[in-house]
Amino acid sequence: MPDYDAIVVGAGNAGSAAAITMASKGLSVLLVDRSDPPGAKNLSGGVLWGNDLAQILPKWQSEAPLERFIQDKKIGFLTDNSSIVIDFKTKIFEENKVGHTVLRSKFDPWLAKKAKEAGATVIPGITVESLATKDGKIVGVVESGDVITASVVILAEGINPRLAIEAGLREPLQDWEVSVGVKEIIKLSPQKIEDRFNLTSTSGMASEYILGNLQELNVGAFFYTNKDSISLGIVAPMEQLRANGVTHTYDIIEQFKEHPSIAPLIEGGTVAEYGAHMIPEGGMDMVPKLYGNGYMIVGDAAGFGFSNGLVLQGMNYAFLSGMLAGETAVEAKAKNDFSDNSLALYRQKLESSYVLKDLKTFKDIRKVTNNKNMYTTYPKMLEGILLEMLWERGQPKKKVRDILGSCAADLKMSKLKTATDFYYIYRRM
């Protein structure tokens, strides 16, 4: 008899969701995390979309340590001198309150506590050393020479899944598969936040930008309001950072903070925390085999995330993949079959959910996010068009068609090239 029905390695959103799903169905679950309190070292940009979470914790909106609900979502481009932003504020967000800013160092320990309440044994402060294998099957975890056994091990160890890699369950991470996120938390009084962003005491703003002022790098940036702080940061592709010899990513975040449209928003704030984290951006191409004899891989460890340059999501994919792995384990327990064949159900569940559907739909999205024009030429073109249209400087007015043409010419882009490029971006996004 194994010690547990399931061992979950990693108390992030995916791991805790898996543990809650299994423990609430009566499975004996061990959830291990390196940090104490569990999950406190986890980091992400900070917007949580909770549709999936609501399935396992219906009262999450009133119980979880949330910062502000997203009432206002902005996306846009920043150039050296300008910001071009779409500000989407809708009653629909306000009525549903599904998107919230969170601070993971508070949210994740709460989620792990929910796993404990559901009946899981939650052990914080322990780093699992390796996976225990027997006859080609994963049978448990190894720590300090002790083997703790389980019918199934769920690997929720995050973006750089050392255990999975060392056990040969996936290849080591490649540069193209990840971006580097660098984040700062800037303390600012609730009063200032609410005044500056036109918010109430509970509503919040989340914006994402394409930074059009960096020549060699396709960098995105984010800016979210918490209760009494701002989460902001940049996201840069590892491959480009390496190719351009950029080692000081903090220079990029400084540039973002000093941008004329960002600096006034954080004025008077003090940096309270900073951190960096890798983000899965390899799409379908980086997804490993997701299950096998005695194991399943969930969340970031499986490469689940979505990014198109202007939208960046990961936590919802983590919840859902964790829950689906949990459900699979519950069904496997009922059949008493944790073989490769039985756990293939996890893949089927992912296929019929938005997790793998999204990754398939957007399989070519990296061609957009890797498109240099998206990050340099088009923001400048857009800036040029708006200057022509919105700035009166005693010149004869031009038609949009002619503005577009002259802006393209200024940036050494042919009309045809621009048109085909737009067409492909349109098709892939």
Partner 1 sequence: MLKIAVMIKQVPDSQDISIDPVTKTLNRSMARNVVNPPDVNATEAAIQLKDKYGGEITVITMGPPMADTALLQLMGMGADSGILATDRVFAGADTWPTAFTLASVADYLGGFDVIFCGEETTDSSTGHVGPGIAEFLGCEQATYVHKVEYEDGHFIVNRDIEGAEETIKIGRPAVITITLNANEPRNPTLKRKIGAYKKGIRVVTNKELQLDPSCIGLKGSPTIVKDMKTVPDPVKNPTKLGVEEIDKLVSALVEKGVVK
Site string for partner 1, 123-142 (x = CB under 8 A): xxxx-x------------x-
Site for partner 1 contains 47 (CB under 8 A): no
**Region 69-88 residues binding partner 1, contact defined as CB under 8 A:** none
Q: How far is the CB of 146 from partner 1 (least distance, A)?
A: 4
For position 102 contacting partner 1 by CB under 8 A, the verdict is no
Tell which residue, 384, 375, 360, has the closest CA to residue 425: 375
CB nearer to partner 1: pick between 38 and 282: 38
Query: Considering the complex, what minimum distance in angstroms separates the CB of residue 11 from partner 1?
Result: 14
Report the alpha-carbon distance of residue 343 to residue 326 in Å, rounded.
11
3-class SS at 421? Answer: helix
- Check: CB of residue 282 under 8 Å from CB of residue 363: no
Minimum CB distance to partner 1, residue 270 (Å) = 12
Establish if 9 lies at the interface with partner 1 (CB under 8 A). no
Instruction: Out of 37, 204, 299, 326, name the contact with partner 1 by CB under 8 A.
Output: 37
Binding of partner 1 at residue 165 (CB under 8 A)?
no
| Smaller CB separation from partner 1, 154 or 320 | 154
Among 55, 121, 149, 406, binds partner 1 (CB under 8 A): 121
> Is residue 117 involved in binding partner 1 (CB under 8 A)?
no
Give the C-alpha distances (Å, rounded to integers) separating 67 from 107, 172, 180, 191, 199: 10, 35, 24, 14, 13
Give residue for tokens 């689906």: 324
CA angle 375, 381, 384 (to 5 degrees): 135
What is d(CA 280, CA 179) in angstroms, rounded to the nearest whole number?
7
By C-beta, is 32 or 235 nearer to partner 1?
A: 32
The answer to whether 40 contacts partner 1 (rule: CB under 8 A) is yes
Piece in contact with partner 1 (CB under 8 A), picked from 30-38, 195-203, 230-238, 318-326: 30-38
Binding residue (CB under 8 A) for partner 1 from 11, 17, 23, 30: 30
Q: Which is nearer to partner 1, 146 or 402 (CB)?
A: 146
| Closest separation in Å from C-beta 26 to partner 1 | 18
Helix residue ranges per DSSP H, 198-270: 238-243, 249-258, 263-266
30 or 359: CB nearest partner 1:
30
Which residue, 125 or 172, is less far from partner 1 as judged by CB? 125
DSSP state, residue 212: T
Q: Are 285 and 178 in contact (CB under 8 A)?
A: no
SS3 category, 165: helix
225 close to 68: Cβ distance less than 8 angstroms? yes
Q: How far is the CB of 62 from partner 1 (least distance, A)?
A: 21
Residues 228 and 189 sit within 8 Å (Cβ to Cβ): yes
290 and 346 Cβ atoms separated by less than 8 Å:
yes
Judged by CB under 8 A, which stretch of 15-23, 33-41, 73-81, 419-427 contacts partner 1?
Answer: 33-41
Answer yes or no whether residue 351 interacts with partner 1 by CB under 8 A. no
At its nearest, how many Å lie between partner 1 and the CB of residue 153?
13
Please tell me whether residue 29 binds partner 1 under the rule CB under 8 A.
no
CB of 2 to partner 1, least distance (A): 13
409 phi and psi, to 5 degrees? -65, -45
Residue 175 engages partner 1 in binding (rule: CB under 8 A): no
Rule CB under 8 A: say whether 148 interacts with partner 1.
Answer: yes
For residue 223 the two structure tokens come to: 């800016």
Q: Which is nearer to partner 1, 190 or 288 (CB)?
A: 190
Nearer to partner 1, 75 or 147 (CB): 147
Angle between helices 13-23 and 315-335 (to 10 degrees): 30
Alpha helices in 307-353 (DSSP H): 315-335, 340-351
Residue closer to partner 1 (CB basis): 32 or 343: 32
In whole angstroms, the minimum distance from the beta carbon of 125 to partner 1 comes to 6
Would you list the DSSP string of 258-319? HSTTTHHHHTT-EEEEEEEEEEE--GGGG----EETTEEE-GGGGT--EE-SS-EE-HHHHH
Binding site for partner 1 (CB under 8 A): 3, 30, 32, 36-37, 40, 121, 123-126, 128, 141, 143-144, 146, 148
